[in-house]
Structure 1
Amino acid sequence: MRSFRSALAVGVLGLLPAVSIAQDAFLPWIVHAGAHEVSPQSNTGRLAGMRSSTSSDSRPTISLEYRFTPAWSVELLAALPFRHDVRLDGSKAVSVKQLPPVAGVNYRFMPDRVVSPFVGVGVNRTHFFSAHGENALEGARVDVGDTWGIAWHAGIDVALSERLVFTVDARRLDIDAKVKVDGTRVGTAHVDPWVYGFSFGYRF
């Protein structure tokens, strides 16, 4: 949502004065807690011959990261379930929840600096559940298949102290889910969302 991204930008600008804080020790573990928005691409393909679109949603997130060198780390991201509405030719037709845990590897370009950009790549496993039809599909049995895909990652860390870090990041997930209605496949939803967010991390 535009308001979510605007608030995120304001938060980053407010933290920029903290760049004078130095990091004096290497602490390999980081626990991050924050919030992210899953924003599917505007056109998610055709289902039952109709153009489909999927709504965005924001939820609290948490991740655990281990830096096996100052620059390289592995990370596991989890979240509360996201809820999306699927529209067919503009009319709401399906409501579904999903969990998109991501495991990946990150590389920090300036790990010894207070402000450090990073990039990463990983694997996304998306589990869809509690799907049900609405309006024209009211009472129909809707199944959205689970998916595996690549997850691209980039962001910026801002050290607030030796142990505290503020992170803004974005992920691009590959999510192509097969959709069935009453047991008949009606197409594939090419969700492929951007995931924007922020978190506060604690190093130990």
Structure 2
Amino acid sequence: MKFALTPLAAATMLVLVAVTPIAHAADDVWVLRFGAHVVAPKSDNGQLAGMRSSIDNDTKPTASIEYLFTPNLGAEVLVALPFQHDISLNGTRLASTKQLPPVIGVNYHFMPENTVSPFLGVGINFTHFYDSKGQGALSGSHITIDNSWGGALHAGLDVKINENWMFTADVRWINIESDVHLNGVKIGKAKVDPLAYGLSLAYRF
């Protein structure tokens, strides 16, 4: 497993360290969100074994919890059920994999008192790949995909229903790049770098 601390991830860690001392100065406010997101890998996913690779989309339920240090600034953890993706080489489906992509980050809410409040965020992602399998011509082959660390960007809108309930629409860009091995031999790097977009129902308490 590789640990690549990108400038984006390093900046996120510094922000987390900087805001921690003010947590005790604010009233406790939490936001719990439940929804669903589509993970849509970018269109060009690199070369594997000299062939063009492509990775399909998947949609799964997601949940997040955010602690608001101030009305504007919060720290958030995103989790999800495992996403499953088919992998094609030169247009032929030859493998599948599952992945868990939790994200930890900070969000800045621009107009928290308004009915509609946009926000921007930055964070760190860890993606765990597992249960990778060959299909078709690669059926029975041993395929592994390395875990990935990378930065993440976040943008969205909160729409208040009342003082406790709201809807959230958001999108994340996540940096995911992992070495792929076939029968123990590295055959290339999968450049996933997906957009994850979706809707959630949120409860503030």
What is the TM-score normalised by the length of structure 1? 0.86
Give RMSD over aligned pairs: 0.9
Hey, what does 1:196 align to over in structure 2? 197
Hey, what does 1:15 align to over in structure 2? none
Deviations 1:123-179 (A, max 9, x none): 010000000101111111000110000010000000100000100000000000110
Give ranges in structure 2 of 5+ residues lacking alignment: 1-26
Mapping 1:1-204, distance limit 5 Å: 28-204=29-205
Contact 1:27 1:203 in 2 (8 A): no
Distance 2:71 2:28 in 1: 9
Offset, 1:43: 1.1
Deviations 1:181-200 (A, max 9, x none): 00000000000000001101
* Deviant stretches of 4+, over 2 Å: none
Secondary structure, aligned partner of 2:137: helix
**Aligned residue identity for 2:45:** T
**Aligned residue identity for 1:65:** E
Offset, 1:63: 0.5
Identity %: 50
Give ranges in structure 1 of 5+ residues lacking alignment: 1-25
Offset, 1:77: 0.3
Distance 2:194 2:94 in 1: 20
Contact 1:31 1:201 in 2 (8 A): yes
Deviations 1:63-110 (A, max 9, x none): 111001000000000000000000000000111000000000000111
Contact 1:154 1:170 in 2 (8 A): yes
Distance 2:51 2:136 in 1: 15
Offset, 1:27: 6.5
Tell me the matched-pair count: 179
**Aligned residue identity for 2:148:** T
**Aligned residue identity for 2:50:** G
Offset, 1:114: 1.1
Offset, 1:111: 1.1
